[in-house]
A and B are shown apart, each in its own frame.
Chain A
């Protein structure tokens, strides 16, 4: 079902750790759907004064695809300028992994969204200028997450009631 590349990243994931004192965190996905990804970035400047992703790491709750994509995006993003990092699409991550099963393409392929959100968080909290395109993607990602929460609203309510009953 999964490519060898996916299994390599799943079995020996890269940059899997919680980051102390990150410059930005991107939290995407939803536990109710079975995938949650937290992506951490540390930003620095390169010799030409451009901001780059100096370090990137992640924590993920999810299936094989979710874990492998988390691992892969850190390989792609590390050392990239912010501009380059924002160019990495979910599609690109999947391609670098020699493809993902079709059913996993939209639900577990969150890594690029996580990176976008982490960069947004960095720029937002450091008072940096947020490009129009990034603002747009940020809104899309949030909207999608809200939609999922609405869809699973019944379950959220049910779980809250159950936890309340404990």
Chain B
């Protein structure tokens, strides 16, 4: 049986060996509660919690006190968005984009239920937020702007530097969900007030994430208790997870330059080859997209069946088709870039990782055209 060729690294990643090794120390020997006073606990605090916070802060070029560990990016997004809203004395105005992750979108929908006003910025056909739209949407009472750094489905990298600057000029806070960007390329944080990142997208463990929260930004905590994480996130720290996140951050930042170049070349090869299949469109921009992201729509066939055919050939991929979601609606991102509904049903996302080899790409390119042809032969909607 052929080993699975994993091309769904935007969903999650395998935990790197060095990360597992580092984490296991904190399960076995350095298990103390960082809040306790005796020496095994202080090891967990110093070598675990403090080391991790300082390591990540150093790599991001921020202060250690500005890193808040959470259970993952969903929690970080919730904390940033609701944390700002709950500090307001009266209902405020918020701005986000139509193509955010559901952790952001649904948090804003909840704020609307609570009486706040939210503007959802449209994107262009490549999934880019237009800075002029943001300028127009900003108001005196805008409390927060939240725009993702890079899109998880179509790989679009947003002009965060510019969007954050425009927001800052208005005296408004700026948050970015950077889950797909963190560890992938250098981030422009100059005018960013808050940033969410996740461990399991960067070869770290699941269940751990962080919120970078610039000092001076006032948030209302969502989880109350013993006052951990500067009172922003109570609960005994997940020390092995935090160490895993820090180690994974170190690993991805170290490999960043060469790994992104390597993946970019593999990505471009796939895009060039797959573009030759007739009636196929690339979703998202050709340039200015994540180095590991490929997203195509194939006319006349449905995405879930493409994924299942690939699975039968031991390739793991994903789709924005309705049939892959419990809501039975195709991806909001694909609809936001004005992809016709039928094409939105026929999307295939491949996301590469540090383990993706040239041979994996050879195999994919060998198999994929046949899968598309097979499904099209069976479809009444294709010629």
Contacts and interface: CB of A to CB of B under 8 A. Distances in A.
B378 A13 contact: yes
Nearest to A16: B378
B211 to A, nearest CB: 34
B216 interface: no
B344 to A, nearest CB: 9
Size class of B's contact patch? 20 to 34
A162 B338 contact: yes
Contacts of B382: 61
Interface of B: 300-302, 304-305, 308-309, 312, 321-323, 326, 328, 330, 338, 340-342, 345, 377-382
Contact of B305 (A33, A67, A107, A158): A67
Interface residues of A, number: 35
B contacts with A: majority SS: loop
Given A32-B342, A155-B341, A60 B308 contact: no
Contact of A31 (B308, B342, B378): B342
A59 interface: yes
A61 B323 contact: no
Contacts of A64: 304-305, 308, 323
A32 to B, nearest CB: 5
B321 A63 contact: yes
B379 A60 contact: yes
Given A59-B378, A60-B380, A103-B326, A34 B340 contact: no
B348 to A, nearest CB: 13
B341 A152 contact: yes
A10 interface: yes
B378 A34 contact: no
A159 B322 contact: no
Contacts of A60: 378-380
A152 B302 CA distance: 18
Contact of A35 (B302, B309, B377, B378): B302
A11 interface: yes
Contact of A62 (B305, B326, B340, B377): B305
Contacts of A152: 341
Contacts of B380: 18, 27, 36-38, 59-61
A104 B39 CA distance: 56
A7 B304 CA distance: 13
Nearest to A25: B380
A66 B381 CA distance: 14
Contacts of A31: 341-342, 345, 381
A109 interface: no
Given A32-B342, A155-B341, A61 B328 contact: no
Contact of A107 (B328, B338, B377, B379): B328
B378 A10 contact: no
B46 to A, nearest CB: 46
Contact of B345 (A10, A18, A34, A103): A34
Contact of B340 (A11, A37, A63, A159): A159
B379 A33 contact: no
Given A67-B378, A108-B323, A61 B341 contact: no
14 contacts: A2-B308, A7-B312, A16-B378, A33-B322, A33-B328, A38-B380, A60-B379, A61-B379, A61-B380, A64-B308, A107-B323, A107-B328, A158-B338, A159-B342
Interface string A92-121: 000000000001100110000000000000
Candidate in A2, A27, A59, A162 with the most chain B CB atoms within 10 angstroms: A59
A159 B341 contact: yes
Nearest to B301: A61
